[in-house]
Amino acid sequence: MTHYRRFFTVPWKRSKMCIFLIGSICFVGIYFIFIPVTFNYFALIAKIKVKENIALNVMERFAFPIKGYDKPQTAKENRSNIFRFKPFLLNRKVEGPTANVAPFASELNDTQPFRFLINERDLCKDSTPFLVLLIATKADEKPLREAIRKTWGNESVIPGTKVIRLFMLGVNDKERNEAILKESNQYHDIIQQNFLDTYKNLTLKTIMGLKWVATYCAGANFVMKTDTDVFVNTEYLIQSLLRPLTPPSSYYFTGFLMRNAKPHRHIESKWYVPKEVYSSERYPDFCSGTGYVFSGNLVAKIINASLKVKFLYLEDVYVALCLEQEGINMVPPPNNYLFNIHKVPFSPCTYNSLITSHGIQSHEQIIYWEELQKNKHMCAK
Ligand SMILES: *[C@@H]1O[C@H](CO)[C@@H](O)[C@H](O)[C@H]1NC(C)=O
Ligand SMILES: *[C@@H]1O[C@H](CO)[C@@H](O)[C@H](O)[C@H]1NC(C)=O
Ligand SMILES: *[C@@H]1O[C@H](CO)[C@@H](O)[C@H](O)[C@H]1NC(C)=O
Ligand SMILES: *[C@@H]1O[C@H](CO)[C@@H](O)[C@H](O)[C@H]1NC(C)=O
Ligand SMILES: *[C@@H]1O[C@H](CO)[C@@H](O)[C@H](O)[C@H]1NC(C)=O
């Protein structure tokens, strides 16, 4: 025993030292591994907050124009606003995993096989419109459609300027479709094709609208694609943006311009796009689907290109890919506060000189519109 102990004592002390040293190194190592994990943790907190509807504040910080509605004063500020928007774009995930909800429609390489269930063939028969409003909607959004009909979607918003309003739908269940048929008979402002009405089929909806214009309304000067939760100041759009452009001598396409956006490779993102579906590391510049406007002569171009461009369910990116295929560039709007992808706090004079504001409910559509009509004459031009 003593022999052993003597043999053991000295090395044991050293062993303890060794163990301590190795332990310390491990600790430092684990600490450094922990840092990224901790960042993920913060990201998670941000996500939870988004879910709790503190979202708007967080998002508005990145979206442009920011709260308070400051116009950019310098070129540097202009640029930094675009940079500030980037993190928002890269992190715009919501509502948990969607990847397992539906298969990718990208496997559909043919976007043309659908037929109209509800059509309005004669809207442009007698005269060609100045502007066609293509509004993506879903069956259960009747209150929003009603609000839009009474407000910014009113076709006689500008006397002497022909505007056509069309709501675009896919199909859901049969029961809801009967209500839609009734609504269509009443207002004649709905078109519908027989594809399933899902988020991942939004591109089909846009293509349907474009095909409608190409087929039944080819002479339209301008087309705008937007959504039901967007407030559109059609008066400003027509009078201040589009009228000065006419007659359109060339191709025109504008909206909230997204530059250098990257595909989301994270499977939990609502905007998840795997490499097999879109391999490039960047999207082309595209205009947010909340509202983009273009000259009627682009409709056929986009449809043409869509026969060659691989399907992508992000309709705004898809349209940009079609334009890229045709060698057409989008242009930034005359100023950065016209097209907004967030909800701009309401005041009559702010809304008097913007074109889109996003995240608007049906009662807000009405209140904002009425307040705007009542007060717009008091705003500085
Ligand atoms: C900021 O951008 C807008 C729109 O692109 C432009 O009209 C304006 O001149 C720019 N401001 C400066 C100071 O560069
Ligand atoms: C769709 O893809 C299949 C297989 O790659 C091909 O045979 C077919 O011609 C494509 N259809 C269209 C419309 O491009
Ligand atoms: C649309 O606007 C016209 C002219 O201002 C008005 O007479 C009409 O009642 C409006 N339509 C709806 C549905 O509000
Ligand atoms: C898109 O619509 C087609 C035709 O109705 C349907 O087969 C497909 O499942 C839909 N795709 C998605 C992703 O919902
Ligand atoms: C669409 O494509 C066809 C066939 O490639 C071509 O003849 C036509 O001019 C194109 N239309 C437009 C508007 O580019």
- Quick: pLDDT tens for 1-22: 555 555 556 677 788 888 888 8
Closest ligand 1 atom, residue 334 Cα: 4
Nearest residue (by CA) to ligand 2, atom 4, is: 109
Tell me the pLDDT tens digit for each residue of 59-82: 332 333 323 233 444 554 444 444
State whether 314 and 241 are in the same domain.
yes
Phi-psi sector, 359: left (phi>0), alpha (psi -120 to 50), beta: left
CATH number of 367's domain: 3.90.550.10
**Residue 226 within any structural domain of the chain:** yes
Tell me the pLDDT tens digit for each residue of 195-226: 999 999 999 999 999 999 999 999 999 999 99
**pTM, 2 dp:** 0.71
Contacts of 262 (CB under 8 A, 6+ apart): 90, 281, 282, 283
Q: Nearest-CA neighbor of 121 among 255, 25, 212?
A: 212
Q: Which domain holds residue 33?
A: 2-58
**Residue 327 within any structural domain of the chain:** yes
State whether 21 and 144 are in the same domain.
no
Nearest ligand, measured from the Cα of 153: 3
**Residue 129 within any structural domain of the chain:** yes
Tell me the pLDDT tens digit for each residue of 333-354: 999 999 999 999 999 999 999 9
Write down the residue that tokens 């509807």 correspond to: 53
Contacts of 223 (CB under 8 A, 6+ apart): 131, 132, 134, 209, 210, 213, 293, 294, 295, 296, 298, 299
137 Cα–ligand 3 center, Å: 22
**Residue 95 within any structural domain of the chain:** no
State whether 158 and 19 are in the same domain.
no
d(CA 293, CA 238): 11
293 Cα–ligand 3 center, Å: 24
State whether 38 and 112 are in the same domain.
no
State whether 188 and 259 are in the same domain.
yes
Are the CB atoms for 114 and 335 separated by under 8 Å?
A: no
Nearest residue (by CA) to ligand 1, atom 12, is: 75
State whether 127 and 46 are in the same domain.
no
CA-only gyration radius of the chain, Å: 27
State whether 49 and 116 are in the same domain.
no
**Residue 63 within any structural domain of the chain:** no
Percentage of the chain modeled with pLDDT above 70: 75
Give 155-181 as a DSSP string: TTSSTT--EEEEEEEEE--HHHHHHHH
Ligand 3 proximity of 186 Cβ (cutoff 6 Å): no
**Residue 121 within any structural domain of the chain:** yes
Contacts of 99 (CB under 8 A, 6+ apart): 267, 268, 272
d(CA 72, CA 39): 32
The number of beta carbons lying within 10 Å of the beta carbon of residue 143 is 14
75 Cα–ligand 1 center, Å: 6
**Would the CA dihedral through 234, 235, 236, 238 be positive or negative?**
positive
d(CA 381, CA 379): 6
State whether 44 and 115 are in the same domain.
no
Are the CB atoms for 164 and 244 separated by under 8 Å?
A: no
187 Cα–ligand 1 center, Å: 42
State whether 30 and 144 are in the same domain.
no
State whether 279 and 363 are in the same domain.
yes
Please name every residue paired with 258 in a beta bridge, in sequence order, or none if there are none: 286
State whether 34 and 159 are in the same domain.
no
Nearest residue (by CA) to ligand 2, atom 10, is: 109
State whether 167 and 241 are in the same domain.
yes
Nearest residue (by CA) to ligand 4, atom 4, is: 195
Q: Which of 28, 43, 58 is where one domain is finished?
A: 58
216 Cα–ligand 4 center, Å: 25
Q: Which of 58, 74, 94 is where one domain is finished?
A: 58
**Residue 97 within any structural domain of the chain:** no
Give residue ranges with CB within 6 A of ligand 1. 72, 74-75, 78, 332, 335-336
What is the domain count for the chain? 2
Tell me the pLDDT tens digit for each residue of 307-337: 889 889 999 999 999 999 999 999 999 999 9
